């Protein structure tokens, strides 16, 4: 029958696409530690939505507990002093080898004391680089010894995040694509 052929065709198309696309998982999170039981495997992507206050930085210690981070590149509109201090501590303890931050240049005027603190800490650590641009991007690229994670979503690296959405994937091609944010010639180094 025509209906049966249509169903078979749909199944065949679905099988073809499953081999070409990332696996998708949808999670609503109250806490990463409680709700996210694993990280994505290679070429897998998680679509996440937060229910409680946690910000984009929350993913970093979650990954660093499992794998040492070779390189962390993060872009954000806003970053808090607590997040900066946590990043520096993770770097100093060897959990993150290199850190590159791309922060909206409006942050320099919006919160100069936080920026001064960041500059003071980065100036004594050659593996920490800080750039500025007129940007609202919120992307984090993490390279471990075996994996390439990309985290993107609405949350800043500040303490006021509540209802946010994120995408977390383990994909070298997505990582390489998003790394273009950090090689833009318009970036201003501090």
Query: The tokens of 134 are what?
Result: 């007129």
Higher-pLDDT residue of 149 and 81 is 149
Residue burial 3-35, b: 16+ Cβ < 10 Å; e: rest: eeeeeeeeeeeeeeeeeeebeeeeeebeebeee
If we measure between CA atoms, which residue out of 28, 22, 66 comes closest to residue 44?
22
Average pLDDT score over the chain = 84
**How far is 22 from 183, CA to CA, in rounded Å?**
26
pLDDT score, position 161: 61
C-alpha closest to that of 129 among 105, 155, 98, 107: 98
Is it the case that residue 127 has pLDDT exceeding 90? yes
Mean pLDDT of 144-162: 87
pLDDT score for 5? 46
Q: What pLDDT is stored for residue 19 in this prediction? A: 37
Q: What percent of the chain lies above the pLDDT cut of 70?
A: 81
pLDDT at 186: 78
Contact 167, 45 (CB under 8 A): yes
């Amino acid at each position: 029958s025509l209906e049966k052929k249509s169903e078979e065709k749909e199944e065949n198309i679905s099988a073809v696409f499953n081999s070409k696309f990332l696996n998708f998982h949808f999670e609503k999170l109250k806490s990463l530690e409680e709700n996210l039981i694993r990280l994505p495997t290679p070429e897998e992507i998680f679509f996440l939505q937060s229910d409680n206050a946690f910000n984009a930085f929350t993913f970093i210690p979650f990954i660093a507990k499992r794998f040492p981070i070779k390189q962390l590149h993060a872009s954000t509109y806003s970053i808090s002093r607590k997040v900066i201090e946590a990043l520096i501590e993770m770097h100093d303890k060897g959990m993150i080898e290199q850190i590159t931050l791309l922060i909206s240049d409006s942050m320099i005027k919006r919160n100069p004391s936080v920026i001064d603190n960041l500059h003071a800490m980065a100036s004594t650590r050659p593996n920490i680089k800080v750039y500025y641009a007129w940007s609202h991007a919120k992307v984090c690229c993490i390279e471990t010894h075996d994996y390439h994670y990309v985290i993107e979503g609405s949350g800043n690296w500040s303490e006021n995040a509540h209802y946010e959405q994120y995408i977390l994937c383990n994909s070298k091609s997505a990582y390489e694509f998003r790394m273009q944010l950090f090689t833009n010639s318009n970036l201003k180094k501090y």
